[in-house]
């Protein structure tokens, strides 16, 4: 797809040494400092290279762009949480987002769904 091609071209340009002079040359919208902070917050990470921060920032941007365009293009309507949630639930490649984009349900639906489990755990 176009986004995969763009990602490959971006990775090639990022891997060139002169590409690391400024973040403006990469046109990053996600601040690399925030990406670095999130990466370093993992207890398993001791050090983070500049290259990995820039690659992850750009990959995140491209992923978000693809996700939003997929949701909006299919529906052709205003971008909403429901569009993202529906896209996640019916597209296998986005199944890993189930925990962060669950389908919204009402409190009554939730109570009906989990009442038996709650009652069983209390006895």
Residues 6+ apart with CB under 8 A from 95: 88
Q: In Å, how far are 3, 27, 29, 59, 72 from 54, measured between CA atoms?
A: 17, 11, 11, 8, 27
Q: Is the separation of the CB atoms in 62 and 7 below 8 Å?
A: yes
Question: What pLDDT, in 10s, does the model give residues 6-47?
Answer: 444 444 444 444 444 444 556 778 889 999 999 999 999 889
The CATH number of 1-77, from 1.10.10, 1.10.20, 3.40.50, 1.10.357, is 1.10.20
Domain extents for the chain? Answer: 1-77, 80-123
Report residue 93's pLDDT band, with 50, 70 and 90 as the boundaries. very high
Report residue 2's pLDDT band, with 50, 70 and 90 as the boundaries. very low
Q: How many Cβ atoms sit within 10 Å of the Cβ of residue 33?
A: 11
């Amino acid at each position: 797809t176009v986004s995969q091609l763009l990602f490959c071209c971006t990775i090639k340009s990022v891997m060139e040494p002169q590409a690391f002079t400024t973040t403006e040359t990469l046109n990053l919208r996600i601040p690399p400092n925030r990406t670095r902070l999130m990466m370093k917050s993992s207890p398993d990470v001791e050090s983070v290279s500049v290259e990995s921060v820039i690659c992850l920032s750009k990959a995140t941007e491209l992923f978000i762009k693809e996700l939003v365009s997929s949701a909006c293009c299919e529906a052709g309507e205003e971008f909403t949480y429901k569009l993202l949630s529906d896209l996640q639930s019916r597209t296998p490649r986005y199944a890993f987002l189930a925990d962060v984009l669950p389908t919204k349900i009402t409190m009554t639906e939730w109570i009906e769904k989990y009442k038996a489990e709650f009652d069983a755990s209390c006895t």
